[in-house]
Amino acid sequence: MTKNSSTGATQIDPRGPRFGATIINVLSVVIFFFATDKATEGTGAILFGIAAVLFAIGAIFGNTKHPFGWLYRTLVRPRLAPPKELEDSRPPQFAQGVGLFVSLIGLAVYALAVPYGLAAAAAALFLASFLQAYVGYCLGCQIYLGLKRIRVIRSA
């Protein structure tokens, strides 16, 4: 982790957030599987709650303070070559915020007993984490400005 001299933004290994997204991707499949059956929907909701807490940590404190970030640095990174390029820490932090938002929506529709609401939220989480983990898609690049333009996000 270093500071970018021109923007002052923290620079991180881009493979860290993708590693985290891979775990979330697997977790979202498990949640989806549980959420699509009445008998196990409650277990799915608990797992979704755990995901929400993890997203909150990432969104508030950044990916480097995230448990998956720590896992990546201690278990994965020592086995890999150094990163070819570092990236700005803000886009993945924004993605964590989006993940938190989706989790809260999922838990809210579950609380309101919307049929398959939790499953739908798990599906959304699956799509976003899949694209980040395996395709390198950057959610912030695609939607941040759009959300700001339709005034979902206020100026910082």
Q: Rule CB under 8 A: which residues touch other proteins?
A: 9, 14, 29, 32-33, 36-37, 85, 87-88, 90-91, 94, 123, 126-127, 130-131, 134-135, 137-138, 140-146, 148-149, 155-156
- In the chain, at which residue ranges do the beta strands (DSSP E only) sit? 2-3, 10-12, 87-88
DSSP code of 78?
A: G
Closest approach, Cβ 126 to other proteins, in A, equals 6
Nearest to 71 by CA among 126, 139, 21, 123: 21
Comparison of 75 and 142: residue with beta carbon closer to other proteins: 142
Comparison of 75 and 145: residue with beta carbon closer to other proteins: 145
**What's the gap between Cα 46 and its chain centre?**
17
Comparison of 54 and 87: residue with beta carbon closer to other proteins: 87
Closest approach, Cβ 105 to other proteins, in A, equals 18
Closest approach, Cβ 124 to other proteins, in A, equals 10
Closest approach, Cβ 92 to other proteins, in A, equals 8
**What is the CB-side half-sphere exposure of residue 10 using CA atoms within 13 A?**
14
Comparison of 75 and 134: residue with beta carbon closer to other proteins: 134
Yes or no: say if 12 and 1 are a contact pair by the CB < 8 Å rule.
yes
**What's the gap between Cα 54 and its chain centre?**
8
